[in-house]
Amino acid sequence: MSSSAPLADTLADSCQRSIKRAAQALLESQKPEGFWWGDLTADTTLESDYILLQLWMHPPVDGVWNPPTRPLIDKAVRAILWRQNDDGGFWIYPAGPSEISASVKAYFALKLAGVSVTDPRMQRLRDCILNLGGIQRANSYVKINLSLFNLYPREHAPTVPPELMLLGKVIYEMSSWTRAIVIPLSIVQSAGARPAPAGFDLAEIFAPGVPLAFPNNEGFFSWRNFFITADKIFKRWERKGLPGIRQRAMKRAEAWMLEHTKDSEGLGAIYPSMMYVIMALQCLGYPDDHPEIIEAQRQFDRLMVNDGERFFFQPCFSPVWDSAIVAYALGEAGIAPPDAMARCADWILSKEVRKKGDWSIKRPNVQPGGWYFEFANEFYPDIDDTAMVLLGLHHARSENSVAQQAAVRRAIDWLLAMQGSDGGWAAFDVDNNWQFLNDVPFADHNAMLDPTCPDITGRVMEALSLYGVRGNHPAIRKGADYLRRTQEADGSWYGRWGVDYIYGTFLALRGLRAAGESDREAHILRAGEWLRAIQNADGGWGESCESYAQNGYVAGPSTASQTAWAILGLIASGDTDSGSLQKGVEYLIAHQRTDGRWEEPYATGTGFPRVFYLTYHLYRDSFPLLALATFHKSHGLGRGDLAQ
């Protein structure tokens, strides 16, 4: 679909104006240090877990719960109730249906915080939970958390044994985020239950007739059955096992946890593991004034947004990620002041990983390089972030060019070393794909593993190609083969870290184009046709998080970021002049606000598919700029046109 047709003057002019407004808005939001950083929001489970943490940290006295953090708890209650669905339940993505685990967490937190069970909002919530199958249908982490206060039967909550630390390198066959969660959690669970307030229980949300036992629809000879049996053995071990072995496992878990909090803004720099670290340190007897407790609490509290108008928790911070995307978008537009780009480059270079982390267990002879997602997370450089940073640094140039070139070289070498045996790239680890671990009872957060995925693979291929790793390089050839193999029958690609098939398709197409794939190939043509076929009537593109649950594309209202992804995908497929493409560009232009930004009320980022979704508040601005700039360039309109 390569075009020689001239772009209509009116659309060209409108596109140029839109690019300039978008670029100016982003430049105005740059931090003095040189980075960009947008809010990262999720669902009510974070505020609900905050209230649970307060019960753990401040147990009832004589059965009465009177925590010193009551003003913050009250704010959390208001933040939870503000997002209640009409049916009483709570969603895990904006405008989504009520979900059982989020709803159970909310009920526990609201009731604990003092909202009366006779309150109509609580009555509707209780009815919703029962209609969804009751507390028994909540996921394993909800059950584990509630069992810590004897609010769910311990014998029916999965065991997370610290003895995992004694099984060689088994913990490194779990995803990085899973091991960061389960290791401190194993310490917490081993300590036994703490009291709930006198008379407090959740009996009213247990559905009659629904079994408490772990669900198991497989035959006797299955991994699921094996792990359920192992769970029973671990429970018996907790009561009758050798205390010396348990003590040794606890020591190893403690040492691992403390080591991994160094050079990071909390363990794994993510909310769940940071919360469990606070709880684990208390279990281990650390006094409240101990430096480890103080630092863990400080890092956790930084996730709180409490500015007088808003109260919510961010699941983590995204400054490196945000900065890299914005730098690349501004660079492609070609109108960012050099000093702004230099400040960004200097800041990004200061965040380069220079020590070996968990990834080195499988790559012990590889030198560290690359970047993480947050302000500090030295143990966990992120393959996706590293590729995106390389794209951003292509335009953002530090005055110290020697240092930048060295960092880029290290990152390229690290990315090449982190390619999986199947030809793809994952997020943090190599060949983290022991599929049978998905049958462990506490694996229902749907993220036990970190397998390769098309979206990261496409971005890595694009970044490597930009720096001279061409299509005949073995890594690029294997990556291209991987993408051809993982294409869906309808022509799309799955997106693990963005919602969903639109995201995966745009990145796979950009990776294949960068690798030199012809846009006449059948798989490229199918992908372009799929993108045109799913366009909304308003000219934009949108996809619901429900796609993950249905294992296929589910349409959603048009969003700025997903429309931008579709435009970028179409252009990468060789389409520069179709009516679909131009309508998509017109959609972005028409929906841009006067301040140069876009509205986007929906989640287009993915944490754990089917479990946890993310709204990146800079996606709505950075990706449209990138799409418009790419469209502008695809018609031979250079940077000089934008500078006028």
The catalytic residue positions are 384
DSSP 545-606: THHHHHTS--EEEEEHHHHHHHHHHHHHTT-SS-HHHHHHHHHHHHH--TTS-----S--EE
Rg value, the chain, Cα: 25
What whole-number distance in Å separates Cα of residue 566 and Cα of residue 560?
10
Q: What is the dihedral of CA 315, 459, 396, 606, to 10 degrees?
A: -20
Phi-psi category of residue 38: left, alpha or beta, with phi > 0 → left and psi -120 to 50 → alpha:
beta
Nearest in space to 332 (alpha carbons), one of 415, 394, 385, 283 = 394
Helix runs in 418-500, H state only: 454-466, 474-486
DSSP 336-375: S-HHHHHHHHHHHHTTB--S--GGGGT-TTSPP--B-SSS
Residue corresponding to tokens 């982190």? 418
What whole-number distance in Å separates Cα of residue 418 and Cα of residue 412?
10
Consecutive H or E run containing 297:
helix 291-301
**How does DSSP classify residue 207?**
P
62's tokens: 């004589």
Angstrom distances, CA of residue 640 to CA of 329, 333, 547, 632, 635: 17, 10, 41, 11, 13
Nearest in space to 371 (alpha carbons), one of 316, 324, 435 = 324
Angstrom distances, CA of residue 351 to CA of 29, 324, 369: 20, 12, 10
55's tokens: 């019960």
Residue corresponding to tokens 């693990």? 496
What whole-number distance in Å separates Cα of residue 283 and Cα of residue 268?
20
Phi and psi, residue 64, nearest 5°:
-105, 130
Consecutive H or E run containing 626:
helix 619-634
Phi-psi category of residue 370: left, alpha or beta, with phi > 0 → left and psi -120 to 50 → alpha:
left
Q: Are 253 and 163 in contact (CB under 8 A)?
A: no
Parallel/antiparallel/unpaired status of strands 612-616 and 605-608: antiparallel
Residue type, 263: D
Phi and psi, residue 161, nearest 5°:
-80, 135
